[in-house]
Amino acid sequence: MNTMPQPDQRDASLEDARLDIMLRQVWDTPRGLWGALATVDHKVIARRYIITAFVFLAFGGVLALLMRWQLARPEGQLLGPDVYNQAFTVHGTSMMFLFAVPVMEAMAVYLVPLMVGTRNIAFPRLNAFSYWMYLVGGILLWGAFIVDLGPDIGWFAYVPLAGPQYGIGKRVDIWAQMITFTEISALAVAVEIVVTVLKQRAPGMSLDRIPLFVWAMLVTSFIVILAMPAVMVASTSLILDRLVGTHFFNPAEGGDVLLWQHLFWFFGHPEVYIIFLPAVGMISAMLPAFVRRPVFGYIPMVLALVGTGILSFGLWVHHMFTTGLPRLGESFFTASSMAIAVPSGIQIFCWLATIWYGRPVYRVPFLFILAFFFTFIIGGMTGVMVASVPLDTQLHDSYFVVAHFHYVLVGGAVFPLLGAVYYWFPKFTGRMMSERIGRWVAGLLFVAFNFTFFPMHLLGLLGMPRRVYTYQTEMAWGGLNLFVSVSAVMLAAGFLLFFLDAIRSARHGEPAGDNPWGAATLEWATSSPPPSYNFARIPLVQSADPLWDAGDELPVTSGLRVDRRELLVTTVGGALPEARESSPRCSLWPLWSAIATTALLMGSIVTPWAVVWGSVPVAIALIGWFWPGGSKEDES
């Protein structure tokens, strides 16, 4: 049988087996080192992203354990003040910039193209580039920490502590450029997701049929695009202040110290929702499979997502209540902080209604969803507490705040994420994770988490400040701290069990089949793990729950070429087919560009001239990347 594709051959006339062979020829990533470095397959890159992010989670967790060991008893001797400062900074930075944001975006890079029924993410080469940038940023931070150059200024690097006068040595510069690396990668992924969602949906998937996870990622990506530039501006101004003596944050020369806090939190507060909204989307995606009915109130859910996204930009100042604000400012930002509880509340009630009307199946992902409800609601309520200025003035920089944001971030994002890993693991690997071990993991994490972090509320009320490397016996914080530290070991055991189960199941887990949960969304319409081309024939969507409503046979479209990488571009609103668009092949240029950009950014930690001379290799790499190819594009 001749499998060589003819020029301009379409898929309509081909049989399934033959189509599979031909699509593989065009879409498969070549084996070997070249293929590994040049791949632009969104699934391969997302897998790397997810694994790397979990490695950073484990590293950050080790630091947390070291800190808990140090704080377990008064006058601890394990870490000195200097190492402790680095430890909490690298822990926070790593968890926020190297774990939480990238892992959420990585899940989207894997799932969004599958959920909207397309063959690859938009701008796949940019996707490859973004992974390399992220990887280098992580190596920079952790490498610096290992050689005692770790940032020691807290994850939000307030000036003047981080400024040229008090931020001694190169530690802060490393932090600032790590920000640049990770934000470049986050922005790149956000752009890809927006374009994928708006232009590459399967025909028929009009705006009201988009899965809620995809909606969540669309809103998140817009938040990323609007918020991340603020922190890049801030970190660049900081490094300019330090390296070439500008005065952005020097009040004596017309700069402003509070400018840093405004710029940082204008990013930093939406950042919370950048982490939280994908988790919300994951819950909305998982829940229907376990209660056997669609999510209650699709439109209120979407509006709540969009509303959260908009409101998230209006409350950054509540991180700055103790800086001395005008009364009107305090009132406004208190009100807006409390207002954002409304859309979150709407979602919670919609989920409760979904469960109420459904028939719950208590599998592991569902257990994580329940764990999310409990912890996140506590975190949300302490959030409303610290949104009130008088209380916040008392609790500012105390362990109460530490407890609050761990409840929000771990309860609101990590629990859903772990549930999501259990849920989509069969999609990633074709194998199930262990249900029995999973129950242990969920139970252990839930109990240990609450044991670890709930007492921190009390410690905060007892006056224990954040970021102290030790405390005296007379403070009477020893008992609670010891309890917290022991529980932290339990928590770590839960995570260890999770990692071991994931590693074991990836090789020896039970084979899953294509749709083990009986879910409704399109990512389950292809095999598990999906082939390199995702869908042999692009599905035709006729309802919000295509796999439930379509019956035995999912309707498909045809007409795409099989002799080159091609995908279908549809209209923004109704997802009507618009054009066939070619999709880029594997290329090494993203890697070269990432190496050149790395040289520039790393060099700029040491000398400003690196920006000048480093731009030459970057320009060469980008010219190579965007050199006009020979193939025609954009045929209708």
Partner 1 sequence: MDKRWAALSTLLLALSLLGGCRVENRETRLDPPLAEALDHIALMPNGIGGTPPEIYTIMGKPYRTSSFHLSQGKRLYEWFGCQACHGDGQGGNAPSLIDGWWNYGPDLTSIYASIRDGRPGGMPAFRNRLTNEQIWQLAGYVQVMGAYSPPSAAPGRSDRPQTRPAENRAPAASAPLR
Binding residues vs partner 1 (CB under 8 A): 80-82, 143, 146-149, 160, 163-165, 167-171, 241-242, 244-245, 247, 249-253
| Cα-based distances in Å from 523 to 112, 535, 545 | 8, 9, 12
| Cα-based distances in Å from 279 to 140, 365, 418, 460 | 28, 13, 10, 28
Which residue's CB is nearer to partner 1, number 253 or number 549?
253
Residue 186 to residue 267: CA distance in whole angstroms: 13
Query: What residues contact residue 131 under an 8 Å CB cut-off, 6+ apart?
Result: 45, 48, 49, 185
CB 106 → partner 1: shortest distance, Å? 22
Which residue's CB is nearer to partner 1, number 160 or number 529?
160
Which residue's CB is nearer to partner 1, number 171 or number 457?
171
Which residue's CB is nearer to partner 1, number 518 or number 608?
608
Which residue's CB is nearer to partner 1, number 164 or number 204?
164
Residue 40, helix vs strand vs coil? coil
CB 118: neighbour CB atoms within 10 A? 29
| DSSP H helical ranges for 77-170 | 81-93, 101-115, 124-146
Residue 228, helix vs strand vs coil? helix
Which residue's CB is nearer to partner 1, number 171 or number 580?
171
CB 239 → partner 1: shortest distance, Å? 11
CB 466 → partner 1: shortest distance, Å? 21
Which residue's CB is nearer to partner 1, number 54 or number 249?
249
Residue 346 to residue 305: CA distance in whole angstroms: 10
Q: Take residue 117 and report the two structure tokens written for it.
A: 């029924």
Q: Please report which helix (H) or strand (E) contains residue 394, including its range.
A: helix 389-395
Residue pointed to by tokens 């905060």: 460
Q: Please report which helix (H) or strand (E) contains residue 453, including its range.
A: helix 435-461
Which residue's CB is nearer to partner 1, number 4 or number 168?
168
Query: What residues contact residue 119 under an 8 Å CB cut-off, 6+ apart?
Result: 27, 113, 533, 534, 535, 538, 565, 566, 567, 583
First to last CA, the chain: 31
CB 416 → partner 1: shortest distance, Å? 31
CB 149 → partner 1: shortest distance, Å? 5
Residue pointed to by tokens 């224990």: 464
Which residue's CB is nearer to partner 1, number 84 or number 453?
84
Which residue's CB is nearer to partner 1, number 33 or number 299?
33
CB 597 → partner 1: shortest distance, Å? 23
CB 169 → partner 1: shortest distance, Å? 4
CB 60 → partner 1: shortest distance, Å? 16
Query: How many residues does this entry show for the chain?
Result: 636
Residue pointed to by tokens 């091609």: 566
Candidates 203, 196, 200; CA nearest to 218 is: 196
CB 384 → partner 1: shortest distance, Å? 37
Which residue's CB is nearer to partner 1, number 249 or number 446?
249
Phi first, then psi: what are they for 151, rounded to 5°?
-55, 145
Question: What is the Cα 578 distance to its own chain's centre?
Answer: 31
Q: What is the DSSP string of 511-537?
A: B--S-TT---SGGGGS-SSPPTTS-SS
Candidates 141, 152, 163; CA nearest to 85 is: 152
Which residue's CB is nearer to partner 1, number 59 or number 495?
59
CB 282 → partner 1: shortest distance, Å? 31
CB 244 → partner 1: shortest distance, Å? 7
Which residue's CB is nearer to partner 1, number 242 or number 537?
242
Range 231-235, long-range pairs (CB < 8 A, 24+ positions) = 231/179, 231/183, 231/263, 231/264, 231/267, 231/268, 232/179, 232/180, 232/183, 233/263, 234/260, 234/263, 234/264, 234/267, 235/157, 235/175, 235/176, 235/177, 235/179, 235/180
CB 329 → partner 1: shortest distance, Å? 25
CB 43 → partner 1: shortest distance, Å? 21
